[in-house]
Amino acid sequence: MTQGNKVIFRDFTATETLKTSKNTKGAEIIPPQNLTWTNNWNTFCSFETDQVCADIPLNQCPTCRHYSFWLFFTLIFLLAVWILLANSFVIAYIIKRKKSFRTSLDLLKGSLAVTDLLTGFLLFTTALPNIAWTTRLTSRQLYVETRKLADTPVAIVSATLYLLFIYSTLYHLVLMSYNRFAAIKWPLAPQTVKKTKINLLLLWLLALAAASYPAWFPESFHFHYMYFTFLFLPNISLHTSVELGQAVGLFILLALPYLAMSGITSATAILILRANQKARQHLSESSRAQEQIIRREKAVLRTVTIMKLGFTLTQVPTIIVLGLSFDGIVHPIAFIFMSYCALCNSAINVLIYRANDQDFKNFLTEVFEKPFRRRLTMRSSSPSNTRVTPVV
């Protein structure tokens, strides 16, 4: 059902789709003669697509904007390539550092880079193939295939992975914030590498549990292929108070860690401010050393705070779109923006390291600039570039 050029989101929930799919499991799914269900295609196609191209592949349909498909495909491809390459450098940087110089923060950055790296693989293995696959189908075929894929293992695993990368990123930021707070609050009990490894294991288990939360309630949550985002996502109808409570539970798993991270970051800033004031009151050698430590902690806190801001900006569209969906009217392009913007955090963390982490800057300089300078030196010193004065 549509109003104008907008989609009634609540009518396009997996609940209705899955009722058809479960009741006809093993039977042939026959689409209605007069298709009107793919009005969501107005992102890339016109409203006439269901009628004009019911039996024509979408990539050949005259009512679709094919350049939009390929532009979108190209943008997602470039995003995936950037995520994979950039985070590979972060992991290489952590591995190259000597064990004696690795800190708990380095391990956290490396683990977060693995999360971001897997986000790139998700785009390559799910989003890009789905774009190509979907555009090769007709409207009737898409109707049938979407219902066949509902609540399948592929849909459940893919949607769970999508949530895992979001929750894992948030939980990494929470642990980073706590580590900085603990380093200042209890300087004599530093976060050891061994302890950080245990915390990371618990972090991943907690993130996996939170991401798989919708799968615990199969009667309420459903997993389906959202053909206008090219991703598998969980959905809940919110028709009953039980479903509303379970949906709130999923939100709490995201909101509570975020609030905790904000509170810890604020507390850390206050501790640094107090320690800085004490150091300025005493001009001894020890206070100068303490001032250097505080300066370093300020830099780390600034990096973590910017990372938190980046995470917030990439998740705000999700909150806005889901909030608007309660009124029932949401444009499909909003779901595309929401779905992929939430994954863009994996692309910006490396930029934050590049701007704020001097050791990482030096690593990139060594990787890219030194070989270039070496080639220039070799060319300038080669025999062909050396002048020989003839002897008369």
7 confidence band (pLDDT: 50, 70, 90): very low
Q: What is the fold of 66-134+152-361?
A: Rhopdopsin 7-helix transmembrane proteins (1.20.1070)
pLDDT at 365: 84
> pLDDT per residue over 248-264, tens digit each?
888 898 899 999 999 99
Position 392 pLDDT exceeds 60: no
Residues 276, 293: contact at Cβ < 8 Å? no
Q: What global pTM score does this model have? A: 0.81
Fill in the DSSP letter of residue 9.
G
Read off the pLDDT band of 329 (50, 70, 90). low
Mean per-residue pLDDT over the chain, rounded = 79
The b/e string for 90-127 (b: 16+ C-beta within 10 A; e otherwise) is bbebbeeeeeeeebbbbbbbbbbbbbbbbbbebbbebb
**Higher-pLDDT residue of 76, 291:** 76
Region of poorest pLDDT, from 198-202, 204-208, 289-293 = 289-293
Confidence band for 116, pLDDT divided at 50, 70 and 90: very high
Separation between Cα atoms, residue 118 and residue 120, nearest integer Å: 5
Is residue 30's pLDDT more than 70? no
**Cα–Cα distances in Å, from 297 out to 126, 199, 357, 361?**
40, 21, 12, 18
Using the predicted structure, report yes or no on whether residue 175 has a pLDDT greater than 70. Answer: yes
> Does residue 358 carry a pLDDT above 90?
no
What's the pLDDT score for residue 3? 38
Residues 127/76, Cβ–Cβ less than 8 Å? yes
Q: Name the more confident of 210 and 35.
A: 210
Angle CA 241–312–69, to nearest 5:
85
The predicted structure's pLDDT at residue 20: 41
- The string of pLDDT tens digits covering residues 185-203 is 887 666 677 888 899 999 9
Report the C-alpha gap between 233 and 254 in whole angstroms. 16
What is the band of 28 on the pLDDT scale with cuts at 50, 70, 90? low
8 Å CB contact between 353 and 109: yes
Q: Could you tell me the two tokens for 200?
A: 């990371």
Q: What integer pLDDT is reported at residue 69 of this predicted model? A: 83
Q: Is the pLDDT of residue 285 over 60?
A: no
What local confidence, expressed as pLDDT, does residue 10 receive?
A: 35
CA–CA separation, 382 vs 307, rounded Å? 47
Would you say residue 24 has pLDDT above 50? no
Average pLDDT over residues 227-245: 84
The yes-or-no verdict on residue 375 having pLDDT over 70 is no
Centroid of chain to Cα 95: 23
Secondary structure element (H or E) that encloses residue 165, with its range:
helix 153-185
Report the share of the chain in percent with pLDDT over 90: 25
pLDDT at residue 115 above 90? yes
Q: Does the structure show a pLDDT above 60 at 390? A: no
What is the Cα–Cα distance from 351 to 357, expressed in whole angstroms? 10
pLDDT of residue 249: 87
